[in-house]
Amino acid sequence: MANLIKVEFKKLKGSNILWICLAGCFILPIISLMVGSNISVQSNWIDYCTQSMWMSILLLWPCIFGLMGTYIFTRERIENTYKNLFTIPVGRVSLVLSKLFVLLITIVCITFISYMLNLVGLFIGVKLTLNDFFQGLATYLMSGLLMFCAMLPVMFIALMSKKGFLVSICVTIVYALISFIGIWAPLLSSILPIISIMRICNITALSIEYSYPMIITYVSLFGITAVSLFGIIFAAKKQEA
């Protein structure tokens, strides 16, 4: 398993997708800096970070992580090297789990980088304390972990579809748009995984109404996560090369 993970990291490191996704991290901090510089009374650190975080969760991160995850899961099919993997003794489940682990670590690293980029706000007078810094960091890292869970349905589709890359990218875009539209529908906002991240992490930059209590949000998110993870593992066992 360790060797598979190492190989997956090497493949990702040598791809353009990683650098495209990293470049995407700079978009919202730059926007926040431009918006913040036009505000006469500067906000504190938590307010400054959350003003761009909701856009990251609803729009930017689903697209970035969907693109990256789809690439990780479909690269061998795109390059027509998928069958070659099974000429050597590599378990399909181990291969899929290694890809999931690489995606998880990559998502956490990108959310960390996104958070650190908010430090540019110090140049426009955003107030920062050590306690606020670690509180914001914890929120970003938790949102990254939950975003990994929320993107598992897309990874399942990428694994199942013979045209995984194109189909999964389309699904990711639709998924992000439905989540964005869902913030105005209390029923959807209570159960959609991406919006659930906003609620669980207590991001209140947007006024979102919910039809159901918090426990339903937890059950929905982790239920979808469990079903998607089971589906990915099951598909890995059954799928023919």
Contacts of 81 (CB under 8 A, 6+ apart): none
Contact 190, 220 (CB under 8 A): yes
Max CA distance (Å), the chain: 64
Strand partners, 127: 44
DSSP 8-state secondary structure symbol assigned to residue 128: -
Residue carrying structure tokens 């159960």: 191
| pTM (predicted TM-score) | 0.86
Name which of 189, 81, 186, 201 is nearest 138 in CA terms: 201
Instruction: Look at residue 40 in the predicted model and tell me its pLDDT.
Output: 42
Tokens of 150: 């929320």
Q: pLDDT at position 41, please? A: 47
Rounded CA-CA distance 219/193 in Å is: 10
Q: Which residues of the chain have pLDDT under 50?
A: 39-41, 241
Cα 124 to Cα 115: distance, rounded to the nearest angstrom? 17
CB 133 within 8 A of CB 127: no
| pLDDT at residue 2, rounded to an integer | 74
- Give me the pLDDT at residue 86, please: 56
Q: How many C-alpha atoms does 151 have within 13 Å on its Cβ side?
A: 32
Q: For position 131, what pLDDT does the model report?
A: 93
- The per-residue pLDDT for range 121-145, each reduced to its tens digit, is 787 778 888 999 999 999 999 999 9
Q: φ, ψ for residue 184 (rounded to 5)?
A: -100, 0
The percentage of the chain sitting over the pLDDT mark of 70, rounded to a whole number, equals 84
